[in-house]
Amino acid sequence: MNPSAERIREKFPTAFVRAEVIWAETTVYLHPESVGDVVRYLHDDEAERYDYLSDVTAVEYRDLELPLQVVWHLRSLPFRRFLRLKAEIPRGAPLSVPSVYPIYKGADWLERECYDMFGIEFVGHPDLRRILMWEQYAEGYPLRKDFPLRGRFSRSEQLRQALAAEPESRYSMTELTIADAFEDLPLEMRQRLAGGEKTGE
C-alpha cells in the first residue's frame, strides 16, 4: 500500500473513510467536503510532493445508497507514487465537491468536463461551464445513468437546436487568443513574442 494512505489516515482522521489496494494501486476514500484540504497537504508536504494531477473524473454505479464517486488521480514524480482519491456522494446529497483548481491549474478543463458530463459542481472553480457539449445544451448530463442514450429530445428537435445557433457562439475566438495568458508565460517566451520573432517559415 502507498505509504501516503496511512499518513492521510493519521493527519485527517475525520476525512478518512477507508483505503484499499487493487492491482497494486492504492485508493483512499474521503469525505467529499474535505478533499480540498487533503489534496493541499499531498501537494505541499515535503514527504508527499504529489505534483502532478493526472485526472479528475466521476463514476456512477448502480448503487442505491452511494451512486456517484468523484475520482482524482494524483502522481508524485519525485517519489514515483500513484494515489487515487475517491469521494462518494450519497443519494440526495448536493453534487458538490471542492475544486482543486487553486492547487493544480490543470484541473481547469478536467473539472469542466466532469461538470459537463455529470453535473457535479466544483466549489471554487473560477469558470465552471460546459466544455464538450455547447453551453446552451438543455438535455441534461449525458454520462448519468438516468440519461437516455439518444438524449431527451427528438432527433428533429436536437437538429433544430443545433442548427439554430451560430458557429461563432460555440467557438469563442477570445478563448483561442493567447493575449490574456501573456503575463503567465515564461520570461524568455515573453521576450521572444514581444520582439516580433519570425517563425522558421
Partner 1 sequence: MGLTARPDRQLVTVAPQSQEGWVATRLDFLVNWGRANSLWPMPFGTACCAIEFMATAASKYDLARFGMERMSFSPRQADVLICAGRVPFKLAPVIRRIWQQMLQPKWCISMGACASSGGMFDNYAVVQGIDTIIPVDVYVPGCPPRPEGLIYGIMMLQEKVKRERMSDERLRDEMEPDPTSKLYIPASAIDELSEPFGNSVHQTRSGL
Which residues of this chain interact with partner 1, rule CB under 8 A?
132-134, 139-140, 142, 146-160, 162-163, 165-167, 170
* Long-range CB pairs of 42-50, under 8 A, 24+ apart, other chains included: 42/4, 42/8, 42/74, 42/83, 43/103, 43/104, 47/7, 48/4, 48/7, 48/76, 48/79, 49/76, 49/77, 49/78, 49/79, 50/4, 50/74, 50/75, 50/76, 50/81, 50/83
Residue with smaller CB distance to partner 1, 155 or 198: 155
Residue 161 is given by DSSP the state H
Nearest residue (CB) to partner 1, 78 versus 140: 140
Smallest distance from the beta carbon of 130 to partner 1, in angstroms? Answer: 10
The minimum distance between CB 114 and partner 1, in angstroms, equals: 17
Shortest Cβ distance from residue 56 to partner 1 (Å)? 21
Least distance from partner 1 to the Cβ atom of residue 101, Å = 25
Q: Closer to partner 1 at the Cβ: 153 or 182?
A: 153
Q: Is the Cβ of residue 34 or residue 158 nearer to partner 1 in the bound state? A: 158
**Closest by alpha carbon to 119, among 150, 88, 97?**
97
